[in-house]
Structure 1
Amino acid sequence: MELVKQAYLKGERALFKSHDLKVEDSIFADGESPLKESDHIDISGSIFKWKYPLWYCNHINVENSTLLETARSGIWYTHHINIKDSVIDAPKTFRRGTHISLENVNMVNAQETLWKCSDINLYNVVAKGDYFGMNSENIEIDGLNLSGNYCFDGGKNIIVRNSKLVSKDAFWNCENVTVYDSVIIGEYLAWNTKNITFVNCTIESLQGLCYIEGLKMVNCKLIN
């Protein structure tokens, strides 16, 4: 793989359509879409400062890196991307992507994040923002701490483990959801949803669990 190290990259599409590239300890400064249409890229220790850094990409690995707030709408139409030990401080990240894996990721500003995506794995993720995971499907989660309303609206085929969701209107209009060993706090939980199961969960919801077809609760606590 070609190596780009300690580079200061600026200008629109700085590394456009790159392939088989390793980027280390570099800064993507002002300039839109620096890695648009790239594939097989390994990124570590780097900072993204501007919009649309990873659009229409394939087979991307990111470690120990940061997307600043200005790197908004950062990863759209991208497939097979793994992000680990990183901070995403930008809204509207991930749109219409597939095969997305996040591990030890802090999403400081997760407003409208993970929309219309599929085949998602989240492990030890912290996120803050409304409308997280809207209309996405085939999601497996282990260790999500989320603060933000309306999460997973319209989602399908979702498994959640060992998580805490502080979210009004969580799991609305969903299909096939199973939640294990988790805490959910928020009004109007799971309205208009089909096939949702809670196992060993603690739920605080003033007017939750209405208009559901196929509700199952096993060893749960409804504390309000």
Structure 2
Amino acid sequence: MNRKITNKYFEGERILYGLTDANLNGVTFGQGESPLKEAKNIELKNSIFKWKYPLWYDDSVSIDNTTFETMSRSGIWYTKNITITNSALQAPKLFRRAEKITLDHVHFSDAEETMWTCKDIKITNSQINGDYFGKDSENIYLDHVSIIGNYCFDGAKNIEVHDSTFVSKDAFWNCENVTIYDSTIDGEYLAWNTKNIKLINCTVESDQGLNYIDQLKIKNSDLIHTDLAFEYVSNLDVEVNSTIDSVKNPISGKISAPEIRELIIDQEKVDPAKTEIDCAKIDEKTNHSDLNQLPKD
């Protein structure tokens, strides 16, 4: 039978070290590092963590309606099989080198340097605020998630996103295998140095976004006030519904848009014959080195 701990206040380092098969309800962990280190098969509800390193090297943890206060920083490292629901996560650097993570209806008020080098992550119906979220992590699923903070998912792999919002400079840099559906992305320099990224039914606003990419697919999307796009991008498959402010030096593939205000091709840098431009209107400011590429009446 599981041990039950109810309405308790604990202080002290490693106060419940190695706890196994336990239900905790209404518990507050005050000052003292690593209160639940090396715990296993823990269910925690209606509780508060106030101090550092609460859940290190744990396995099979379920948490509901619980608060991680600011000083519970670096809280969940080297832990696997953890679920957190309906909780307030105030501490930075909260997840590192953890795996099999499920989060639903959580709020990260300071997600700085959080979720680094983790894998098998599912986040739904949640808000995340902070820079450098998700660095070098892999196997990530997001649905109805809002991220406000720069540099999210730098170096991450295998990301699937649905119905989410990103306000983030340098989002999805150095990534592999990113697919984003029905989402909004607002931020400069989107997805540089990434391989295999797809944007389906999305709205993007990005100064100098979507450059230095191999395999970029965009379908039924809007690029709002997006300039100097697709520089040194190879294997383009782009169909957008909006005007693109400017396109610069794409390497290969196809771009389809109702209007490109400025098309810049430098034949010393790229071969214009390798990129098909399907566009009803290209502004007369266009600086295009090969007039044969311009649309004909």
Q: Quick check: TM above 0.5? A: yes
Could you tell me how far apart the structure 2 residues matched to 1:4 and 1:15 are? 11
- CA apart distance, 1:144: 0.9
Residue aligning to 2:236: none
Q: TM-score, normalised by structure 2?
A: 0.75
SS of residue in 2 equivalent to 1:109: coil
Could you tell me how far apart the structure 2 residues matched to 1:165 and 1:113 are? 16
Is 1:10 aligned to residue 39 of structure 2?
Answer: no
Could you tell me how far apart the structure 2 residues matched to 1:155 and 1:124 are? 21
Deviations 1:84-123 (A, max 9, x none): 0000000001100000000000000100000000000000
Could you tell me how far apart the structure 2 residues matched to 1:176 and 1:53 are? 33
Q: TM-score, normalised by structure 1?
A: 1.00
- CA apart distance, 1:75: 0.3
Residue aligning to 2:100: 99
Provide structure 2 residue ranges, at least 5 long, that are not aligned to the other structure.
Answer: 226-297
Could you tell me how far apart the structure 1 residues matched to 2:24 and 2:57 are? 18
Residue aligning to 2:164: 163
Could you tell me how far apart the structure 2 residues matched to 1:94 and 1:59 are? 15
Could you tell me how far apart the structure 1 residues matched to 2:70 and 2:208 are? 35
Output aligned runs, 1:3-152, within 5 Å: 3-152=4-153
Could you tell me how far apart the structure 2 residues matched to 1:18 and 1:78 are? 14
Could you tell me how far apart the structure 2 residues matched to 1:67 and 1:39 are? 19
Could you tell me how far apart the structure 1 residues matched to 2:128 and 2:70 are? 14
Could you tell me how far apart the structure 2 residues matched to 1:26 and 1:100 are? 22
Could you tell me how far apart the structure 2 residues matched to 1:125 and 1:135 are? 20
Residue aligning to 2:221: 220
Could you tell me how far apart the structure 2 residues matched to 1:194 and 1:11 are? 48
Provide structure 1 residue ranges, at least 5 long, that are not aligned to the other structure.
Answer: none
Could you tell me how far apart the structure 1 residues matched to 2:78 and 2:45 are? 21
- CA apart distance, 1:125: 1.0
- CA apart distance, 1:157: 0.2
> How many residues of Structure 1 are paired with residues of Structure 2 in the alignment?
224
SS of residue in 2 equivalent to 1:16: coil
Could you tell me how far apart the structure 2 residues matched to 1:144 and 1:112 are? 17
> Higher relative contact order at CA 8 Å, sep ≥6: structure 1 or structure 2?
1
- Percent of pairs with identical residues: 54
Could you tell me how far apart the structure 2 residues matched to 1:207 and 1:78 are? 38
Residue type at the aligned position of 2:93: K
Deviations 1:141-173 (A, max 9, x none): 101101000000000000000000000000000
Could you tell me how far apart the structure 2 residues matched to 1:115 and 1:195 are? 21
Q: Which structure has the larger Rg?
A: 2
Residue type at the aligned position of 1:3: K
Deviations 1:19-65 (A, max 9, x none): 00111001000000000001000000000000000000000000000
Could you tell me how far apart the structure 2 residues matched to 1:137 and 1:3 are? 35
Could you tell me how far apart the structure 2 residues matched to 1:21 and 1:13 are? 16
Is 1:209 aligned to residue 214 of structure 2?
Answer: no
